[in-house]
Structure 1
Amino acid sequence: MAVITESIDLNREYSPSMWSRRFSTAQEVMQHHVLFCNEASEKMTNNIPHKLEIEYGSTPGQKLDILGTDLPDNAPVLVYVHGGYWQHMSREAYRYIAEPLHRCRIKTIVVGYDLCPIVTLPEIVDQIMNAARFVFEYAEKMGSRGVYFAGHSAGAHLVAKVLSNSDFLDNTAGSHRLQGAFLISGVYDLRELVHTTVNEAVQLPPEWAAPLSPQFDCYTHLQMRKVRIYILAAQHDSPTFKKQSREFYELLHNTCLMQNMYLEIKDDMDHFDIVECFGKEDNYLKNLLLHDVRKHL
């Protein structure tokens, strides 16, 4: 059944920079975000012990950074997967999220991956699986008390695909250390997206949209693992982005009958400052993560 909605402008709905109220143009929104991320991350790497550009696969993009290598071996780990519609941004730009977490004795692993159109979206999903395998094995080796994943925008999509893969979780050493996930302003249903300009680089065939959409995956296997899922979006995300977060929450809570669920639309935030705030000492991701760690670990 066709899902194209004639009454809305799909390109606008799937252009997050057009919904911010902080700047007068979408271009200014993006320029600010890139500049902020790069400057904050450069500063952070001078302040925290780290190990950068660790290869988890054979291609140039398959690298990750471990930030907080001075922390105890058993420290909790947050794994961050960046967004950019699978075609923009990089792990180097999001190292800044580690600084407030480091003060709370939480390690951060920032994951990179190859981008479209050099690789396909299914290949990126496979790469994130490889990265997750590396992280779980690392956590097992170090005796980490718990592993959490966080993904923003397209990164939330990629984290959700990892969570949906029961065979992967069942057959990966260390996956029992998975505690929770933070899915931030994510895209979970790709059927409309393939009809927007986003797909010019992603080049996703329409028949692949549903199989690659977390909205149509099963998550019942997470019940026994008691994994906590935090779904967040911004007040100034587009109506479609907020709708997708609500529908994904409903899938997990009502269809998959998961109990450990959390949904919030963050007031006075847009698609970009919802993650830019992670550089602040008092930010909601740190607070949610600390609450979960103190309650469950």
Structure 2
Amino acid sequence: MSRLSQPLSKDLDRPGAHGANWFQTEPPAPAAAQQDQDMMSVDYETEYNNRGRVPEHPGIIAGWARDAAAYREVAVSERGVRYGEGPRQTYDLFKPEDVKSQAIVLFIHGGYWQALDPSHFSHMARGLNLLGVPVAVVGYDLCPQVEVGHIVWELQQAAATIWLRYNLPVVAVGHSAGGQLSACLLATGWKNVDPMLPEQIVPAAYGISGLYNLKPLTETSINKALGLTLEGAERESPLFWPAPSGLVMDAVVGGTESAEYLRQSRRLTDIWGLEGVRTRYEEIDGANHFTVIAGLADPDSAMTRRIAELAGA
């Protein structure tokens, strides 16, 4: 039985100095490593500059904040629930009137690990709530105050905390940088996070315009705040983690996004699919990097219905 109001029964200890250093148990797959040779001439600065590609982005982001505030006014929610001690380590839980799912959806926002917060994304819970799915919109500390590896660790703590509090598995849904974090959660060995956890608490992930190989970002101005070396970028790239065989990974991307964004999602589904993950790749016609998540507010969208299916609703 789920326990959507039960307090956390135990603290979660922080692992070693680097939050994700335990997972690299084997060298990168040759097929994944081959992309370094395939993409030598790509202008990564242009390919990953989403704000430059979508000049109307300020209005879209302002719309997110407006729609999120409006949804908070009417939604049943618990706000600012702590999962850790960091200043941004909280989540807002949005509850449906009647829970019909077998899992909680964890929505992880984007912003290149260095911008935005949950207050922009409350309305991303609307469509799923109307289908009977509870949604936790999670925050995390940002670069350069913390490293990307620490953010991965924070999200592992968030997912573990939610499982312990509510006795429900977590479906990880992430946009952009959140796509990387959602894939990392799917591929996490949970016994390494806490021996008291089951082997798997995240059975499915849904990445929207995700970043699964961070190595190209080392050649962009985005890396000024991230501070990634090539070695560090590989370490935090779920593409190079052991594939979570038998689990479900959807990778969705806007049809008008850059070739690099399409390649990121296609590459992950191709490689993980060959390694036993139940993968699915989809392009959303006409959507850019910012409009691609619009369907989450709509209970009738294919995106929302697919995530509800993954959550057992």
TM-score norm. by structure 2 comes to: 0.82
Within the alignment, does 1:198 sit opposite 2:216 as a pair? no
Within the alignment, does 1:134 sit opposite 2:161 as a pair? yes
Matching residue's letter, 1:60: P
Change over 3 Å in CA distance of 1:172–1:148 after alignment to 2: farther
SS at match of 2:121: helix
Greater share of helix: 1
Change over 3 Å in CA distance of 1:161–1:17 after alignment to 2: same
Change over 3 Å in CA distance of 1:172–1:282 after alignment to 2: farther
Report the counterpart of residue 274 of structure 1 in structure 2.
292
Per-residue deviation at 1:273? 0.6
Q: For 2:302 and 2:193, how far apart are their aligned partners in 1?
A: 28
Q: For 2:292 and 2:64, how far apart are their aligned partners in 1?
A: 12
Q: For 1:64 and 1:174, how far apart are their aligned partners in 2?
A: 22
Q: For 2:43 and 2:105, how far apart are their aligned partners in 1?
A: 36
Report the counterpart of residue 204 of structure 2 in structure 1.
180
Question: Which stretch shows the higher mean deviation, 128-137 or 201-210?
Answer: 201-210
Per-residue deviation at 1:133? 0.8
Within the alignment, does 1:238 sit opposite 2:272 as a pair? no
1:71-220 equivalences in 2 (<5 Å)? 71-72=98-99, 76-140=103-167, 144=168, 146-166=169-189, 167-168=191-192, 171=195, 173=197, 176=200, 178-220=202-244
Specify every segment of 5 or more residues in structure 2 that has no aligned partner in the other structure, as ranges: 1-32
Per-residue deviation at 1:188? 0.8
Per-residue deviation at 1:75? 5.6
1:86-114 deviation per Cα after TM superposition (whole angstroms, max 9, x unaligned): 00111111110111211111101011001
Matching residue's letter, 1:125: V
Question: Which stretch shows the higher mean deviation, 160-169 or 102-111?
Answer: 160-169
SS at match of 2:79: strand
Quick check: 2:101–2:132 contact (8 Å CA) kept in 1? no
SS at match of 1:192: helix
Matching residue's letter, 2:188: N
Specify every segment of 5 or more residues in structure 1 that has no aligned partner in the other structure, as ranges: 21-25
Matching residue's letter, 1:217: W
Q: For 2:123 and 2:199, how far apart are their aligned partners in 1?
A: 26
1:12-91 equivalences in 2 (<5 Å)? 12-20=46-54, 26=55, 28-29=56-57, 31-68=58-95, 70-72=97-99, 76-91=103-118
Q: For 1:276 and 1:175, how far apart are their aligned partners in 2?
A: 33
SS at match of 1:218: coil
Structure 1 runs (4+) greater than 6 angstroms displaced: none
Aligned length: 278
